[in-house]
Structure 1
Amino acid sequence: MVDLRSSREAEKSARGGAFTTVKLSEHTRTAASLIERFTGTCFRMSEREDGRNLMEVIA
């Protein structure tokens, strides 16, 4: 099956999500900052009570 939606429609449907990790590297933080600047997509980074880090993509 071929998806005939425009790339902009596909981009809108792919927003949101989250992952946890032991450590958020400086590379990850820099990449998130660049993505925010160029696309307007927002990220939230926080440390959880169990010591893991949560990175969320805010739709």
Structure 2
Amino acid sequence: MRIIEINGNKFSNMKGFYREIESKMTFGLNWKIGRNLNAFNDVLYGGFGVHDVDEKYILK
């Protein structure tokens, strides 16, 4: 099972949070995700980078 680790030491605000999410979960895309919880939910669902839709993974 894939493990995706978000480093909380790399951000202190929402802008930094989304930057970290993009670097760990959506790298390689030629566009940025939206800066809102709906967009984050879409990333968690999959299909936008490092994991496919319905692929099981652990987010740490």
TM-score of the two chains, using structure 1 as the length reference:
0.31
Report which of the two structures shows the higher radius of gyration computed on alpha carbons: 1
Pick 1 or 2: higher relative contact order, CA cutoff 8 A, min separation 6. 2
TM-score of the two chains, using structure 2 as the length reference:
0.31
